[in-house]
């Protein structure tokens, strides 16, 4: 018999999306799963919807009063009974039947693999903005959403860092690798997840990303995060400084040429690096602007003082 897999779904006021998430479980070709919904005391009817599925799935509801993704993830791991623990966001859906079964094959073959990451893409009905964001985020994979972890390995290294609300998956992976484990990326299956759909929420997300980067550096001392952060900050500062100088000195045409050059460079970079379904598509046209907005958000988050 296939090993039990616990699918943990953290929720907080997810009434608008949780039904689609739970319905997508039916797509799986792997029968031996339990569902654990970890709820942060929703007050919008989320749990009423979840309870409708208690007779459909092997499903349990756990109330966790403390807030934070790391907290919800850890509670899910502790409550789980499976050999493996998978995570699915409450606004995400399973896109391919083999999500669990293909990950289990990898984990059962090599006991040094602690986690199988699954690719996450923007759904077909996403807005142009969401698809544009996906053009430069789709190449990533270290996200707990869609990841399938070896339960005992996660517990062995102490679980998710509850002091982090961003990049906690990367920080956990850092500790797993230090403990001698490795990871695998499943490119055959994928999860659908919507990106932010307003500039305000998108900039706010990148503010949190910068805070996560600072926390990741503090906990791991990894050099790559410093290089990545400095590249973002310097790109923004240099572009702003040059723009101000050109405007103040009245060189407006040169200023406009600088903007065009910056746009073209980012446009080409995105198309060279993006996933194959987006190369030279209409969605990459908006990508340079959104990348620049992400730099603004990242700068705000990085220079903001950390809360104790």
| 191-239 pLDDT, tens digit each | 999 999 999 999 999 999 999 999 999 999 999 999 999 999 999 999 9
Q: Name residue, tokens 């602007």.
A: 289
Q: Each residue of 58-69: pLDDT tens digit?
A: 999 999 988 788
The residue-averaged pLDDT of 43-67 equals: 93
The residue-averaged pLDDT of 101-121 equals: 97
Contacts of 70 (CB under 8 A, 6+ apart): 159, 160, 161, 162, 163, 164, 165, 168
Which tokens sit at 31? Answer: 């029968």
Quickly count helices (H) and strands (E) in the chain.
11, 8
Contact 3, 82 (CB under 8 A): yes
Contact 231, 223 (CB under 8 A): no
Angle subtended by helix axes 199-220 and 168-178, to nearest 10: 30
The 10 Å Cβ neighbour count of residue 263 is 16
Check residue 69 and give its pLDDT: 86
Q: What is the overall mean pLDDT for the chain?
A: 95
* DSSP structural state of residue 19: H
Nearest-angstrom CA–CA distance, 234 and 237: 5
The residue-averaged pLDDT of 71-84 equals: 96
Contacts of 250 (CB under 8 A, 6+ apart): none
The 10 Å Cβ neighbour count of residue 54 is 13
Q: Name residue, tokens 């493996």.
A: 84
Residue 308 has pLDDT above 60, yes or no: no
> Residue ranges per domain, the chain?
5-193, 199-303
Check residue 307 and give its pLDDT: 65
Percent of the residues in the chain that have a pLDDT greater than 70, as a whole number: 99
Q: Each residue of 230-265: pLDDT tens digit?
A: 999 999 999 999 999 999 999 999 999 999 999 999
Q: Each residue of 121-179: pLDDT tens digit?
A: 999 999 999 999 999 999 999 999 999 999 999 999 999 999 998 999 999 999 999 99
Q: How far is CA 181 from the centre of its chain?
A: 21
The candidate with the shortest Cα–Cα distance to 180, out of 144, 145, 150, 160, is: 150
Check residue 1 and give its pLDDT: 79
The candidate with the shortest Cα–Cα distance to 79, out of 28, 169, 154, is: 154
φ/ψ (deg, to 5) at 102: -70, -35
Q: Name residue, tokens 């987006």.
A: 278
Check residue 67 and give its pLDDT: 78
Q: How far is CA 238 from the centre of its chain?
A: 29
Q: Return the CATH superfamily for domain 5-193.
A: Spore Coat Polysaccharide Biosynthesis Protein SpsA; Chain A (3.90.550.10)
Nearest-angstrom CA–CA distance, 57 and 34: 7
């Amino acid at each position: 018999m296939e090993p039990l897999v616990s699918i943990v779904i953290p929720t907080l006021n997810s009434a608008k999306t949780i039904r689609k998430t739970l319905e997508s479980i039916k797509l799986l070709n792997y029968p031996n799963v339990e569902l654990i919904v970890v709820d942060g005391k929703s007050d919008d009817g989320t749990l009423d919807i979840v309870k409708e599925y208690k007779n459909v799935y092997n499903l349990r509801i756990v109330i966790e009063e403390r807030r934070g993704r790391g907290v919800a993830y850890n509670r899910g791991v502790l409550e789980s009974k499976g050999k493996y623990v998978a995570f699915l966001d409450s606004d995400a859906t399973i896109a391919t039947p083999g999500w669990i079964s293909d990950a289990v094959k990898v984990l059962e073959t090599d006991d040094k693999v602690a986690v199988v990451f699954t690719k996450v893409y923007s759904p077909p009905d996403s807005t142009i903005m969401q698809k544009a964001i996906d053009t430069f985020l789709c190449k990533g994979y270290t996200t707990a959403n869609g990841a399938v972890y070896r339960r005992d390995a996660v517990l062995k290294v102490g679980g998710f860092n509850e002091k982090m609300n961003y990049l906690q998956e990367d920080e956990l992976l850092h500790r797993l690798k230090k403990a001698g484990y490795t990871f695998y990326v499943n490119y055959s299956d994928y999860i659908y997840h919507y990106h932010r759909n307003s500039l305000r929420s998108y900039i706010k997300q990148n503010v949190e990303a910068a805070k996560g980067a600072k926390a990741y550096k503090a906990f791991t001392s990894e050099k790559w995060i410093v290089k990545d952060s400095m590249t973002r900050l310097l790109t923004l500062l240099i572009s702003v400084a040059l723009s101000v100088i050109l405007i103040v000195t009245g060189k407006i045409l040169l200023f406009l040429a600088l903007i065009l050059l910056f746009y073209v460079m980012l446009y080409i970079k995105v198309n060279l690096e993006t996933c194959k379904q987006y190369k030279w598509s209409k969605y990459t046209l908006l990508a340079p602007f959104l990348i620049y907005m992400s730099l603004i958000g990242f700068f705000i988050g990085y220079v903001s003082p950390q809360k104790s």
